[in-house]
Amino acid sequence: MLKINNLYKHFGSLVAVNNLSMSVNKGETVVIMGPSGCGKSTAIRAINRLIEPDGGSIFLDGTDVTLLSEEELRGVRKRIGFVFQQFNLIGRLTAVENVMLGLVMDGLKREEAYEKSLAALQKVGLDQVVDHRPSQLSGGQQQRVGIARALAYEPDLMLWDEPTASLDPMLVREVLVVMEELARVRETTMLVVTHEIAFALHVADRIVLMDKGSIVESGAPHRVFVNPVSDVGRRYKELIE
Ligand code: ADP
Ligand code: MG
């Protein structure tokens, strides 16, 4: 589904991502972990070219997205759901209107956009609050609206960049539960940047550990966390013990 070859990105003299190669198969959940500043966001944002890579290739279903025009990229971006740390909901719109907005802008009829949005909100357990505005929702519910907004496009691939990082600890679980269901029950193809070790351990098919712009190790969660071969892996192991 996704194959990244020798991805490279620098900001001035700082090399943010250095020769990163990895892949995600259809239906798989791959979790990227690593210390803050190691290049996780840069790498994941390069996939739909929110960040322009300086080198390497990124194949999505066989198409190299690094070679696409802006026009072609718009089509590819609809197939990739992206959930960020910030929810970026529009305050004056209701939950369902927030989910509908992109679909309507893309030319979908209002009724069709509404139906798709309701279905997406149902998947994240928010069918009771579709007419609430963000200010009437908890942070966890707001992030679930953010997830529904991505799901409404029925994406082939979901990218997550620290989706629980700005939530109160009490609200993290409800978002992780939704993510776990998407991964396990719905077999969504997901690439997740997170610091949630328990989620990584129990839900990921594979863990990729990064340090200073590069992958330092990858493998099955239990192998990586029980028998790490990198310093970063050994630090995670200590956290679990
Ligand atoms: P992570 O998500 O793992 O915390 P990032 O990918 O955000 O790391 O950042 C990797 C490195 O690139 C960091 O040193 C960060 O300061 C730097 N960086 C990220 N974005 C920019 C930018 N737009 N301009 C300059 N430096 C950046
Ligand atoms: Mg980041």
The ipTM value here is 0.98
Extract the tokens encoding 199: 């989620």
Which residue minimizes the CA distance to atom 25 of ligand 1? 11
Cβ contact 232:37 at 8 Å: no
CA–CA distance, 82 with 77 (Å, rounded to integer): 9
- Banded model confidence at residue 240, pLDDT cuts 50, 70, 90: confident
Q: 214 C-alpha vs ligand 1 centroid, how far in Å?
A: 13
Pocket of ligand 1 (CB under 6 A): 11, 14, 16, 36-42
Atom of ligand 1 nearest to the CA of 51: 23
Q: Given the structure tokens 């970063």, which residue do they identify?
A: 232
Atom of ligand 1 nearest to the CA of 44: 6
The pLDDT of 91-105, averaged and rounded, is 97
Q: Is 54 helix (H, G, I), strand (E, B) or coil?
A: coil
What residues pack around ion ligand 2 (CB closer than 5 A)?
A: 41
Read off the pLDDT band of 97 (50, 70, 90).
Answer: very high
Distance 143 CA to ligand 1 centre (A): 23
Confidence of residue 203 (pLDDT cuts 50, 70, 90): very high
Please provide the distance, in angstroms rounded to a whole number, between the alpha carbons at the two ends of the chain.
34
Ligand 2 center–CA 39 separation, angstroms: 7
* 157-161: strand order across its sheet: 80-83, 157-161, 190-193, 29-33, 206-211, 214-219
**pLDDT confidence of residue 126:** 98
Closest CA to 215 of 235, 230, 201: 230
What are the residues facing 29 on neighbouring strands? 190
Question: What's the pLDDT score for residue 176?
Answer: 98
Kindly report each contact of residues 153-156 with a partner whose C-beta sits within 8 Å and lies 24 or more positions away, as own/partner. Answer: 153/78, 153/79, 153/81, 153/102, 153/103, 154/116, 155/78, 155/79, 155/80, 155/81, 156/1, 156/60, 156/61, 156/79, 156/80, 156/189
pLDDT tens digit sequence for 72-89: 999 999 999 999 999 999
Q: How far apart are CA 65 and CA 73, in angstroms?
A: 7
176 contacts: CB under 8 Å, gap ≥ 6: 164, 196, 199
- The string of pLDDT tens digits covering residues 15-42 is 999 999 999 999 999 999 999 999 999 9
Ligand closest to the CA atom of residue 17: 1
Distance 43 CA to ligand 2 centre (A): 9
pLDDT above 90 (res 185): no
Specify burial of residue 104 (Cβ count, 10 A radius: 0-12, 13-18, 19+): middle
